[in-house]
Amino acid sequence: MDIIIKKANLKDISTIKKIEENIYPDPWPPILFKFLLSRSPDLFFVAVHNEEIIGYIIGEVISKKGILFGHVLNIAVKVDWRKKGIGQNLLYELEKKFLEKKVTLSYLEVRESNLIAQNLYIKNGYKTVDVLELYYKDENGLRMEKNL
């Protein structure tokens, strides 16, 4: 299995859009992916197998009172490619980039019901620090974070 993680580019967005629409009930529009890519091109990665995009991760770095925080905005792996360590590798690449940028804490939001994603985050050292009431239209979110 020859999978590489690399920086995303504009021509990847149409495939990312399809993956996103297959996975989420409330998919992000392509314009948002394009905006995030142009804002932080080094914090948007794709997982690729034989030139096929099979997953992606997007982050942003936020500065608050001089401290840098890494925010994991989105991570997804195509259904057929799950449970092969790809989500893990995507998260690792993003955190590596956060570290290069001197980020000291990585955080994210996840649906309360999304135990699979929570498992991924817990396995990678994230802890739940807050319940975000109706963070999603129909459900609470959990805020999870990890010191890098």
Q: What is the binding site for ligand COA (CB under 6 A)?
A: 23, 75-77, 82-88, 110, 114, 116-117, 119-120, 123
Count of C-beta atoms within a 10 Å radius of residue 96: 12
What's the min distance (Å) between Cβ of 12 and ligand COA? 16
What's the min distance (Å) between Cβ of 6 and ligand COA? 16
CA dist 147 and 137 (Å) reads 29
Using alpha carbons, list the distances in angstroms from residue 124 to 17, 46, 137. 27, 19, 27
| C-beta closer to ligand COA: residue 52 or 102 | 52
What's the min distance (Å) between Cβ of 3 and ligand COA? 10
What's the min distance (Å) between Cβ of 116 and ligand COA? 4
What's the min distance (Å) between Cβ of 103 and ligand COA? 19
Show contacts of 120-125: CB within 8 Å, 24+ apart: 120/75, 120/87, 120/88, 120/91, 121/91, 121/146, 123/88, 124/88, 124/91, 124/92, 124/95
| C-beta closer to ligand COA: residue 5 or 120 | 120
Identify the sign of the CA torsion 60, 37, 123, 116.
positive
Tokens of 143: 């805020």
Give me the residue whose beta carbon is nearest to ligand COA.
87
| C-beta closer to ligand COA: residue 21 or 67 | 21
Nearest to 15 by CA among 81, 95, 71: 81
| C-beta closer to ligand COA: residue 2 or 65 | 2
| C-beta closer to ligand COA: residue 13 or 75 | 75
